[in-house]
Structures are given as structure tokens and as C-alpha cells.
């Protein structure tokens, strides 16, 4: 069901294949880090100068609604987009510089029935927070 490129997945959802969506998908998939909408826009502009921020936002929102990208919200600052919805993973975030790394934790965590309040739980997100090596250095 997955494993295909973002672009292929777009088509599968019945969305039209436009140049804009192509460069947005490429920007996301080519990144080794999770980009903000603005970073996606910057990269996209390099390949398609007429593209607009609105289209980037619209497309990112659509991809998210379709479950094809994950949104990462750091406490402050813009949202970031994670194209990897195929392999389950969680995030490790530096509280100072905001760097995000993908991680696969060990162990298991769950909610006992008396803690579910009747919710239908569909996802468990685990975020590890701390300081990355660079930010932990006392140099300030």
C-alpha cells in the first residue's frame, strides 16, 4: 500500500499531478531532515520559480490529511513535515536548536481502560526531548 513515492501516492488519491506538487514532493523526500513549509517553499522555488507559498501550504495540508506526511509541532516555531509514514518511528528533539531526529524507541506504553475516557485511540506519539551534543556544550 505504501512504499511508493509521494507523487505516486498523490495520484492514487485522485489528486492531479502538477509541476508544483512534483517539486514539493521532491523537496520533502530529498530532505534528510524534516522541513518547515518555508523550507519546502525555498527548495521548490529553486526548481519552479513561479510556485507560491499558498500552494506549498495547501499541498502540505492535503498530504497530511491523506496521511501521507506527518506533521511535527515543536513547542515554538513553525510546523515541520515528515514524509516517512512508512516505517513507524518517533522523534528526538533538541530543546535549544530545534533539531529533530528520527528514532525507534524500545519498550511499550499503553493506556489502561480506566484511563481511556471512551476515546478511540488511533495513535501514540512519543517525543524525546533534551539537548543535542552541540547545544549541550558549555560554550553557551
Partner DNA sequence: ATTAATGCAAAGACTTTGCACCGGT
Partner DNA sequence: ACCGGTGCAAAGTCTTTGCATTAAT
Identify the three-state secondary structure at position 4: coil
| Residue 76, burial from CB neighbour count under 10 angstroms (0-12, 13-18, 19+) | exposed
Which cell is 9 given?
501516492
Q: Is the dihedral of CA 40, 132, 96, 134 positive or negative?
A: negative
Interface pattern 120-139 for its own copies (x via CB under 8 A) = xxxxxxxxxxxxxx--x---
Which of these, 69, 68, 65, 4, lies nearest to 34 by C-alpha position?
A: 69
* 12, 47, 53, 116: which one binds DNA (CB under 7 A): 53
State in angstroms the smallest separation of the CB of 36 from its own copies: 14
Looking at the DSSP bridge assignments, the partners of residue 36 are 80
Distance CA 24, CA 26 (A): 5
Q: Which of 50, 108 has the CB closer to its own copies?
A: 108
67 binds, among its own copies, DNA, none (CB under 5 to 8 A by kind): none
Q: Tell me if 140 contacts its own copies by CB under 8 A.
A: no
Residue 66, contacted partner among DNA, its own copies, none, CB below 5-8 A by kind? none
| Binding site residues, DNA, CB under 7 A | 11, 15-21, 36-38, 48, 50-55, 57-59, 61, 76-79
Question: Can you give the binding site for its own copies, defined by CB under 8 A?
Answer: 71, 73-75, 79, 92, 94-95, 101, 103-112, 115-133, 136
Amino acid at each position: 500500500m505504501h512504499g511508493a513515492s509521494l507523487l505516486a501516492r498523490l495520484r492514487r488519491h485522485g489528486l492531479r499531478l502538477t509541476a508544483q506538487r512534483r517539486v514539493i514532493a521532491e523537496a520533502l523526500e530529498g530532505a534528510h531532515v524534516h522541513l518547515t513549509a518555508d523550507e519546502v517553499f525555498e527548495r521548490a522555488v529553486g526548481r519552479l520559480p513561479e510556485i507560491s507559498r499558498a500552494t506549498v501550504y495547501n499541498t502540505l495540508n492535503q498530504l497530511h490529511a491523506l496521511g501521507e506526511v506527518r506533521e511535527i509541532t515543536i513547542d515554538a516555531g513553525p510546523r515541520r513535515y515528515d514524509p516517512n509514514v512508512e516505517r513507524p518511528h518517533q522523534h528526538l528533539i533538541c530543546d535549544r536548536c530545534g533539531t529533530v531526529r528520527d528514532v525507534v524507541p524500545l519498550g511499550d506504553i499503553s493506556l489502561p481502560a480506566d484511563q481511556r475516557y471512551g476515546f478511540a485511540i488511533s495513535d501514540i506519539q512519543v517525543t524525546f526531548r533534551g539537548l543535542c551534543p552541540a547545544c549541550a556544550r558549555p560554550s553557551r
